[in-house]
A and B are shown apart, each in its own frame.
Chain A
Amino acid sequence: EDQVTQSPEALRLQEGESSSLNCSYTVSGLRGLFWYRQDPGKGPEFLFTLYSAGEEKEKERLKATLTKKESFLHITAPKPEDSATYLCAVQVPLIKAAGNKLTFGGGTRVLVKP
């Protein structure tokens, strides 16, 4: 069974205090690892896709990395507007049809205080 585990569940940071979020996974047939950001009362918004171990992607203060068993989302010098829930998801094949589906972790709630 495909499993995605995110840690920590919640993270409180001071503005400028860098940190990392972890996403560990056990899946068959990984077809990509996705990071999404979700603000309260809204749907998830796409951040990054990583396909192979060693790959890295950056966007402003966020940097995602991937190994064979886990991914990290590094937040460098965060600002209050980086406060959100960050979701990790693995893309795996659908069983009953061509194509893929996303299996999500439980998310990490990040609060950045000014």
Chain B
Amino acid sequence: NAGVTQTPKFRVLKTGQSMTLLCAQDMNHEYMYWYRQDPGMGLRLIHYSVGEGTTAKGEVPDGYNVSRLKKQNFLLGLESAAPSQTSVYFCASKWRGGGANVLTFGAGSRLTVL
């Protein structure tokens, strides 16, 4: 049971290049999220999805796009990378139901934009 898998784990880009981060979960979770983590600023929500085919903006969506064509996958795209997007990106997912409603995180993708 892999949980939440992110690829790639590391990537270096030049300013203006594009790339896509892939998040895959095998828990049949409806909700998926992309966060970025920067020193001293905690985790900030970029985009989220409440189901296949639906996405919405979080707190810091500028410069990013997302797609959720399949329930198990949530893609984060950077069309024209900027140095300000240097960060560690975390994908998370959870079940729609109530109770503890715990987020399960991936191991992160470290992106450096030169």
Binding site for B on A (CB under 8 A): 4, 9, 32, 34, 41-46, 49, 87, 89, 91, 94, 96-107
Decide: B105 and A43 in contact? CB cutoff 8 A: yes
Nearest residue, chain B, Cβ from A42: B107
Residues of chain B lying within 8 A (CB to CB) of residue A104:
35, 42-44
28 A-B contacts (beta carbon < 8 Å): A34-B103, A42-B107, A42-B108, A43-B90, A43-B105, A43-B107, A43-B108, A49-B100, A49-B101, A49-B102, A91-B101, A94-B48, A94-B50, A96-B56, A97-B50, A99-B31, A99-B50, A101-B33, A101-B45, A101-B48, A102-B43, A102-B45, A102-B103, A104-B35, A104-B42, A106-B41, A106-B42, A107-B42
Report B-chain residues with C-beta under 8 Å of the C-beta of A94.
48, 50, 56
Q: How many angstroms from the CA of A89 to the CA of B42 in the assembled complex?
A: 10
Name the 8 nearest CB pairs between A and B, nearest first: A43-B105, A104-B42, A104-B43, A106-B42, A97-B50, A96-B56, A46-B102, A44-B105
Chain A residues lying within 8 Å of B35, measured Cβ to Cβ, are 104
Interface of B is mostly: strand
Chain B residues with CB below 8 A from A99, complex form: 31, 50, 96
| In the complex, chain A residues whose CB is within 8 Å of the CB of B31 | 99
B114 to chain A, nearest CB (A): 21
Contacts of B105 in A (CB 8 A): 43-45
In angstroms, Cα B48 to Cα A101, docked, is 9
| Cα separation A42 to B44 with both chains bound (whole Å) | 16
Q: Does B54 count as interface, using CB distance less than 8 angstroms? A: yes
**B86-107 interface (Cβ within 8 A of A):** 90, 92, 96, 100-107
Tell me the smallest distance from the CB of A67 to a CB of chain B, in Å. 20
Task: Take A32-B101, A41-B107, A49-B102 as given contacts and tell me if A87 and B45 are in contact as well, using a CB distance cutoff of 8 Å.
Answer: no
Given A43-B90, A97-B50; A106-B40 close (CB under 8 Å): yes
Cβ proximity bits B26-56 to A, threshold 8 Å, 1 near / 0 not: 0000010101000011111100101000101
